[in-house]
Structures are given as structure tokens and as C-alpha cells.
Chain A
Amino acid sequence: MADPEIKSYTPHHESQSAAVTESRPAKAVLMIVTFAFLGIFLLLPLIVVFNEAFAKGLGAYTEALTNPDTRSAIHLTLLVAAISVPLNIVFGVSAAWAIAKFEFKGKAFLTTLIDLPFSVSPVISGLVYVLLFGAQGLFGAWLKAHGIVILFAVPGIVLATIFVTFPFVARELIPLMQEQGNGDEEAALSLGANGWQAFWYVTLPNVKWGLLYGVLLCNARAMGEFGAVSVVSGHIRGLTNTMPLHVEILYNEYNAAAAFAVASLLAGLALVTLVLKTLLEMRYGAELAATRGH
């Protein structure tokens, strides 16, 4: 007969030692709190958005989205993103290049300055443009004399969006480029490449995943920005309303179904961004790990 003690033996594969493992109830409470919090504050609103959007049926949903004002808002949002994201790619790559590869005075100051939009309320960023380009603003008279319209028009919206989104690409690239150093570029130059070739064939491929990640976040913010854009837009329907502003207007007019229909597009963008971000992190986690920080 086999020894019952041996028979009943099952090995334990605890991943953590008993000393740092909370008791079962404590674990459960922590997990319930976390999930409840995320559920109430993140998941529920998202469900509500889609629920409300389709509350009056698919017909009302498509009708809301094909409304001329809505379509103009979608166009404007895409236009603003199409201008501000490429500009911020150029700016972000230049800034990261300058900070990571050169030594110069005021470098720490520049690095801090890049973070400014993160630390300033977007409403204030918008107000700054009003103070600069408004009728009573610093350049107001000059702009008027030359017939240039910035405020309450597309240029103002683009400027405000650029201001709010400019840290994303730079912040993603600076730590990555700093970590990689100058070695590869020096090698390319020693092999006869000119500066542009070194950048195109060596630097850019080295940072492409970080760059893509930054562009993704930059784009999500450019399309979703409310505060700064709200101040400079003027809320002219069909002309200077972006999608987030349009959602607010529709909602204030008690047109909830249309408001949520437009909102569902923005929520959809957020979900797509999230999925792409997760995919990027899964594949290029190690490369991106150095760039966390916001």
C-alpha cells in the first residue's frame, strides 16, 4: 500500500513568498476596488456613449453623422490633425536631435520648455493666442492692417492644437536618442554618408517605433483637444467647430443622440489608439521602455 502522505502531496508553485503575499480577503478587496473604479469611471461612460449614440436607432445615428455641420466639424478636425501632426513630427524630431546629439547652453531650459504644454492648462494656452492675435492683442492691429485672420478661424485652431500637442513626439524621442548616442551616426559619416543620409538611413530607422508611438499619442490629442481650441475657435457652426466643440454644442441644444453619435467617433478613435498603442508596446516594449514618463 502506498503511503497516503506521499499520495496526497501536491507541490506549491507560489510565485511570491508568503511574507509579501496579502491574505486572500485583502487581495479580493484590492482587486474589487480597482475593477469597480475602472468600471465606473472608465468603462461605464464608454458604454453610455455608444448606448446613447444608438438610442434612436441606426438611422438617426447615420443621419447625425451626415448632417452638414457635423461633416464640416469632422473635416476641420481631420484638417487640423493633418497640419499639426506633421509639423509636430518635424519639430519633435529636430528638438530631440538637438537635445540628444549636441551639447549647448540652455539645453536644460529647452527640455523644460518642451514640457510646458503638459503643465499649463489648455484654456490658458488658448488665452495666450487671444492675447497675441486678438483684436486688442499684441499683433492684433498689425494683423488687421494686413488682412490676416488668425483668431476665430482655422489658423488659430491649428496654432492652439500645435501648442498643446508639441511635447508628444519630442518627449518620446529624446530619451530614446540619448540612450542610442552618436555611435551609429559617426559610423555612417565615416563611411561617407552626408548628414541627411545618416539621418534617413540610420537615425530614423533606429527610432521609428518610438516615433510612431509619439505620433499616435500626438494625433489622438490633436483630434480630441477641447480647452485651447474652444478659446480660439469662436464656435462658428460649420466653419470653426472641431468635433469636440461640436459635441458640446449639440449637447447644449439637447440634441443628445447627435452629440453622442459624434462623441462615439472620438471614443472610437481613442479605442483604436489604445489598441495600436498596446500592439506597439507588445512588439517593441524593450525599445519603448526607456521612453516612459507621461
Chain B
Amino acid sequence: MEVRVANVRKEFERFPALHDVSLDIKSGELIALLGPSGSGKTTLLRLIAGLERPTKGKIFFGEEDASQKSIQQRNVGFVFQHYALFRHMTVADNIGFGLKVRHGPSRPSAQEIRRRASELLDLVQLSGLEKRYPAQLSGGQRQRVALARAMAIEPAVLLLDEPFGALDAQVRRELRRWLRDIHDATGHTTVFVTHDQEEALELADRVVVMSQGSIEQVGTADEIYDTPNSPFVYGFIGESSALPVNVEDGQVWIADRPIGLSAPQAPRGEATLFFRPHDVDLVDECNGCIAGTVAASRRVAGTRRVELEIGGERQRVEIELPVDHPAAQKSRVAFRPRRWKLFPAA
């Protein structure tokens, strides 16, 4: 099912949580809403689910306007951050709940409900745990039961709020791959919220980066990482270094020296230069480059991080060098970013 969010605004007691957000989710897509806390990602998810009503704007399921539909009518599978499993029901009863509360002919027989529950338990690899209670399960198992329960109602859209937030790192990684497999096997349109960029970039077909109630960028992992469209995305996704610069005559300047980067399209004036610490070329002869004094150097896994002080203002930036690179021993290092982007100073 395609989902279209059109110019949605949401206020909580006059305080805006989302400003004019629009988003197209394709059918069968696995999409991540990524952002720091307070960015509005969970609010957007709850709006799609129907747990909240938009203050303005509309939400379409397919061609149909679902904005005024209740959560029951929308037929969404929602997996809550803390699972919200019914503690007094067995695993099988939890999974069958959505079928049991149906009315009339759409309600399957008790036997059919049991069969469906067992099937779904097989799918989430928890066969044989039908009779357990939620308190008798590990965190990862509860997560799987919550997903099975949401899928039991054959939802139009599957929505997951921080699905792995409460789990430890190892289980997280396992479940991540597992969720991807389940998605590929079932083909549900799936939206999940996360603050973990690794999770979003690894798992999702497309990532929606959010900040302060707005969408900053939507794209594949490659697009988001390689061509961030705002200082926020540059800073939020992956490592980045930023330097205040000047643009003049189509050239980028630091103080009174051009640094060998030409930016013919950029407007004149103050700007901020962004680049990735690992995406730099070291140069020997500084003929248009960024040169700095080594202020600190530390070993990070397979590379060495060097902190440089640049120019008279002693702006600090980080670059990454191979561990055995001789430049790490020197007191001055000159380099030029391989890939970079300029944003006008705010």
C-alpha cells in the first residue's frame, strides 16, 4: 500500500511538533525515519498510524484519504517501542488478539486463529513458545512476538517505533538482518523510526532524515551519505569536519589564502566547508591547500585520527590517515578534501 503524507502539520497544545511535512512512501518499501530526539519522527509515525490526528494536511493510503479514519479503520500494524504485549495473555493469545476482536464473518474460528498464530510464530522463528507469557521471554523474543502480533491482522502498512531501541547491541544486529529478511519475504510496506543512523542506513531502502519537526532529506543510504543536502545532515550522518571559509572569485578562501577548491556556482561571501575526515588527499607542497598544526592524534580502530589547528583562528578539524602514514609524525600537515560541500553561513 502506498502512503502519502501531504503538507501535514501537528501541534500539541500550540507547540508545533511537525511543520508542513510531505512524504511519499512507495508500496512494499522499507523506509526509516531517522533523527535526534525531538525531531518529530515518532509523531510522524503515530500520525500515519492514526494514533494522532494531524492539525493540518492529509494522509493518503493509496488513493484514499485516511486522515479522518480511526486507527482501527486504517488497518495498520504498529509495533510499540516497549512492545506493549498484553502481559496476562499467552504468546499465542497476544498474536491472535487482532483476529479475536473482529466482528461477524471476518472473524476466524478459534482453531483458525490458533493456526495463524503458530504460522506467524514459525515466521518469527519462535515456534513452540505459544503457551509462554511475555514475562517469560527475552527482550528480543518479545520484539518478535510484537511483530508477529502486528502482522497477524494483515496490515496495509507496518509501522515500528524504535524497534530495536530497548535491546543490547548484539541482539540489535541480529534482529536487523532478520527484519530485512521478513520484509523481503512478506513485502509489507514498512516504516520504522530510529535514532541510530547505522540501523537506518543499513536496513532501509530509503532514509528520511528529520530535524526539529521537518524533513531534511530523503534518499537512499548512498545519497544521504555521499550528498547530504544540509549542514544538519552532514553533521548528523557519519563523521564530518566543518570549517568557516570565504567564497570569492569562484574560489574558496581561508583567511587570505585560496585553498585550491573552485566553487564557481557558490554565492560570494561567508560559508561553511564540510568534508568527511577520511575523504582527503594529503599534499606535500602546499600550493592551494588546507594546512594545519597537529594538535592531537589518536588511534581509532584501523586508522589514525589527526586533529589539526587551521589558520590564525585555530579552527580545529579532524582528518583520518592510514596508521603508518609518515604525516602523522609531522607537526604540520597539508591536505585537500577530495569530496566536499559548501553551505552559505547562516
Q: Which residues of A contact B (CB under 8 A)?
A: 183-184, 186-194, 197, 201-202, 205-206
Asked whether A192 and B75 contact (CB < 8 A) given A186-B51, A201-B97, A201-B101, the answer is yes
At the interface, yes or no: B87 with Cβ under 8 Å from chain A?
A: yes
Q: Do A187 and B51 touch (CB < 8 A)? A: no
Which residue of chain B is the closest to A200 with respect to CB atoms?
Answer: B101
Q: Which residues of B contact A (CB under 8 A)?
A: 49, 51, 70-72, 75-78, 80, 82, 84-88, 97-98, 101-102, 149-150, 152-153
Complex-state Cα separation, A190 to B51, whole angstroms? 8
Asked whether A186 and B80 contact (CB < 8 A) given A193-B97, A194-B101, the answer is yes
Contact of A191 among B51, B88, B98 (CB under 8 A): B98
Chain A residues positioned under 8 Å from B149 (CB to CB): 187, 191
B295 to A: closest C-beta gap in Å: 49
Asked whether A205 and B101 contact (CB < 8 A) given A183-B82, A187-B78, A194-B72, the answer is no
Q: Do A193 and B80 touch (CB < 8 A)? A: no
B185 to A: closest C-beta gap in Å: 22
Which residue of chain A is the closest to B74 with respect to CB atoms?
Answer: A190
Some 22 contacts from A to B, beta carbons below 8 A apart, are A183-B80, A183-B82, A183-B84, A186-B71, A186-B84, A187-B78, A187-B80, A187-B149, A188-B101, A189-B51, A190-B49, A190-B71, A191-B101, A191-B152, A191-B153, A192-B102, A193-B98, A194-B72, A197-B101, A201-B101, A206-B87, A206-B88
Q: Do A189 and B84 touch (CB < 8 A)? A: no
Beyond the given A187-B78, A190-B76, A193-B101, please list 15 additional residue pairs across the A-B interface where CB-CB is below 8 A.
A186-B51, A187-B84, A187-B86, A187-B149, A188-B101, A189-B70, A191-B101, A191-B149, A191-B150, A192-B75, A193-B72, A193-B97, A205-B86, A206-B87, A206-B88
Complex-state Cα separation, A189 to B74, whole angstroms? 11
Which residue of chain B is the closest to A191 with respect to CB atoms?
Answer: B98
A196 to B: closest C-beta gap in Å: 10
Complex-state Cα separation, A206 to B82, whole angstroms? 16
Interface centre among A192, A201, A206 (most CB of B within 10 A): A192
Q: Do A188 and B97 touch (CB < 8 A)? A: yes
Asked whether A189 and B72 contact (CB < 8 A) given A184-B86, A202-B86, the answer is yes
Q: Do A192 and B72 touch (CB < 8 A)? A: yes
A202 to B: closest C-beta gap in Å: 6
Chain B residues positioned under 8 Å from A189 (CB to CB): 51, 70-72
Q: Do B84 and A192 touch (CB < 8 A)? A: no
B134 to A: closest C-beta gap in Å: 11
A209 to B: closest C-beta gap in Å: 11
Asked whether A190 and B77 contact (CB < 8 A) given A183-B84, A184-B84, A205-B88, the answer is yes
Which residue of chain A is the closest to B106 with respect to CB atoms?
Answer: A192
Complex-state Cα separation, A157 to B80, whole angstroms? 48
Chain A residues positioned under 8 Å from B153 (CB to CB): 191-192
Chain B residues positioned under 8 Å from A184 (CB to CB): 84, 86
Which residue of chain A is the closest to B149 with respect to CB atoms?
Answer: A191
Complex-state Cα separation, A188 to B85, whole angstroms? 9
Complex-state Cα separation, A189 to B86, whole angstroms? 13
Chain B residues positioned under 8 Å from A206 (CB to CB): 87-88
Chain A residues positioned under 8 Å from B71 (CB to CB): 186, 189-190
Chain A residues positioned under 8 Å from B70 (CB to CB): 189
Interface centre among B49, B84, B98 (most CB of A within 10 A): B84
B85 to A: closest C-beta gap in Å: 8
B11 to A: closest C-beta gap in Å: 14
Complex-state Cα separation, A224 to B340, whole angstroms? 81
Chain B residues positioned under 8 Å from A192 (CB to CB): 72, 75, 98, 101-102, 153
Chain B residues positioned under 8 Å from A193 (CB to CB): 72, 97-98, 101
Chain B residues positioned under 8 Å from A183 (CB to CB): 80, 82, 84
